[in-house]
């Protein structure tokens, strides 16, 4: 019998790659609007380069962008980028079927967790903006635990928190780093095929395109609850 469903967050429950591009492009456009006279695509690519080099959780992406363009740090342009970037976050929504599916799963009695790599406040920021906190019981975040996927200890920690055995648990994620450690532990695995890593080779028990299909899988694997 399955008791616990563990979900990856980014690109599994919400289209994080899509919104990242949306927010970064809005930032670049606002900087152009305030006087940064470069081509939008050029600036966007340059910004991605900065993010690659400094890491996505670094502060001061926009300062560094201007520095690389040989522009004396200009508070006006940085503020334009920051405001547009933050305002874009207002538009964040989960994948459209997600709230409905999570509600059904909750009603059926499953425990629901999120297991995600990242900074705790930043991951919770996204959970709250997507209104996922209404459905999940716990979020297990790498920064707080000290292990990152694909290290199986992050999932072990999660199983421990929920007091569940691997064979009572399902891991749902978009990447091999979600699926591989879960398989190693003996969990059932479901790969959602979307987002930035849609072409990654992932060896999961099931592969779906939409979380509504998860319900069909659970009907088959856990018929007791769905009678």
Site of interaction with a second copy (CB under 8 A): 30, 34, 75-76, 78-80, 82-83, 86-87, 89-90, 120-125, 127-129, 133, 139, 141, 144
Residue 19 CB, nearest approach to a second copy (Å): 14
Place of tokens 């532990």: 185
Residue 127 CB, nearest approach to a second copy (Å): 8
Residue 119 CB, nearest approach to a second copy (Å): 8
Residue 49 CB, nearest approach to a second copy (Å): 22
Length of the chain measured in residues: 227
Which burial class, exposed, middle or buried, applies to 137 when counting CB atoms under 10 A from its CB (0-12, 13-18, 19+)?
Answer: middle
Residue 199 CB, nearest approach to a second copy (Å): 32
Which residue, 133 or 219, is less far from a second copy as judged by CB?
133
Which residue, 128 or 198, is less far from a second copy as judged by CB?
128
Which residue, 76 or 165, is less far from a second copy as judged by CB?
76
Q: What is the spatial distance between Cα 45 and Cα 99, in angstroms, rounded to a whole number? A: 34
Which is nearest to 222 in space by CA: 169, 147, 164? 169
Which residue, 2 or 50, is less far from a second copy as judged by CB?
50
Q: What is the 3-state secondary structure (H, E, C) of 52-114?
A: HHHCCCCCCHHHHHHHHCCCCCCHHHHHHHHHHHHHHHHHCCCCCCHHHHHHHHHHCCCEEEE
Place of tokens 């699926």: 179
Which residue, 79 or 104, is less far from a second copy as judged by CB?
79
């Amino acid at each position: 019998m399955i008791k616990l469903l563990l979900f990856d967050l980014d690109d599994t429950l919400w289209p994080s790659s899509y919104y990242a591009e949306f927010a970064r492009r809005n930032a670049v456009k606002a900087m152009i609007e305030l006087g940064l006279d470069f081509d939008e695509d050029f600036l966007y690519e340059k910004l991605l380069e900065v993010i690659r080099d400094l890491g996505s959780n670094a502060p001061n992406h926009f300062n560094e962008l201007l520095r690389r363009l040989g522009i004396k740090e200009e508070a006006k342009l940085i503020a334009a980028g920051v405001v547009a970037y933050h305002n874009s976050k207002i538009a964040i929504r989960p994948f459209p079927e997600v709230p409905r599916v999570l509600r059904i799963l909750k009603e059926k009695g499953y425990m629901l967790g999120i297991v995600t790599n990242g900074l705790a406040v930043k991951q919770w920021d996204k959970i709250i903006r997507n209104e996922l906190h209404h459905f999940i019981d716990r979020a297990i975040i790498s920064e707080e635990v000290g292990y990152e996927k694909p290290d199986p200890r992050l999932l072990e920690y999660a199983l421990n928190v929920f007091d569940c055995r691997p064979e009572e648990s399902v891991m749902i994620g978009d990447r091999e780093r979600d699926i591989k450690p879960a398989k190693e532990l003996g969990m059932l695995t479901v790969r959602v095929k979307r987002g930035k890593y849609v072409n990654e080779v992932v060896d999961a028990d099931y592969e779906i395109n939409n979380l509504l299909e998860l319900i069909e899988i659970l009907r088959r694997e856990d018929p007791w609850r769905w009678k």
